[in-house]
Amino acid sequence: LKRPPDRYRLLSPTSIFRLNLKSVVQALEKRHPTAEVESIRRVFPNRVQAFLRPKPVVAQVHVSQRYYPVTEEGTVLSVGQPNPWPHLSIIYLEGQQGSFRIGATLKYPGFYQASELLKAIHRQGGLAGHWVSSIRLKGRDLFLFLDSGLELRFNRDRLLAGWQQLGQLLGQRPKLLTEARYLDFRFEDPVIGR
């Protein structure tokens, strides 16, 4: 990924006491949408110093035969490439076409839920030792595939309830993730496929 500069030194055209630092932050984030301003400060006698850091990548989206790394908010961080980025979960957006420019924000139903789910799994260090290889969003359904090949099926309208059901099942049967072929939480009673 192309990284933005991590440090800026700006010569202020006006007195640094009159300079609106919020406006400078907004201008920098507009110029570098793949970064966020970590800090900004006045440096006497006439400079402003800003430190930028790249936004963290949560996954890559697959659209029109290309892979785009994105942040948890859906900001596109790089041009699409024909091959997937290694060691990065893929989110398939059913029916989405076209290309994205760097800094564009995805507006796809269910993306935010998929992103939140990925973040939660990353925070936990995986799901019982397994990582998410991909997520497919199709209509109201979310299909999550683990690196072991197990498929977890959720309805986006009852994602939290399904996630809680998964937690209860794993508490009762810790080896379930290696024994089952798929787990379907789209209904009131989970379905276990062998």
Residue-wise DSSP of 129-194: TB-EEEEEEETTEEEEEETTS-EEEEEGGGHHHHHHHHHHHHHH-TTHHHH-SEEE-SSSS-EEE-
Supply the pLDDT for residue 33: 78
Contacts of residue 26, Cβ cutoff 8 Å, sequence gap at least 6: none
> Distance (Å, rounded) from C-alpha 120 to C-alpha 117?
5
Q: Token pair 């794993």 is at which residue?
A: 170
Mean pLDDT of the chain: 88
Contact partners, residue 25, CB within 8 Å, separation at least 6: 37, 40, 50
- Average pLDDT on 10-24 reads 76
| Residue with more model confidence, 113 or 2 | 113
Give 154 or 13, the one with higher predicted confidence.
Answer: 154
CA distance 175 to 194: 13
pLDDT of 19 reads: 81
pLDDT band for position 113 (50/70/90)? very high
The 3-state DSSP class for residue 31 equals: helix
Residue at token pair 């997937």 = 84
Q: With bands split at pLDDT 50, 70 and 90, how would you rate the model's confidence at 36?
A: confident
Q: Which of 22-26, 67-71, 158-162 has the lowest mean pLDDT?
A: 22-26
Residue 63 pairs with which residues in a beta bridge? 66
Which of the four pLDDT bands, split at 50, 70 and 90, describes residue 15? confident
Report the alpha-carbon distance of residue 95 to residue 10 in Å, rounded.
44
pLDDT at 128: 83
Residue, of 36 and 6, whose pLDDT is higher: 36
Residue 78 pLDDT greater than 80, yes or no: yes
- pTM value is 0.79
User: What is the average pLDDT across 176-189?
Assistant: 91
Mean pLDDT of 101-106: 90
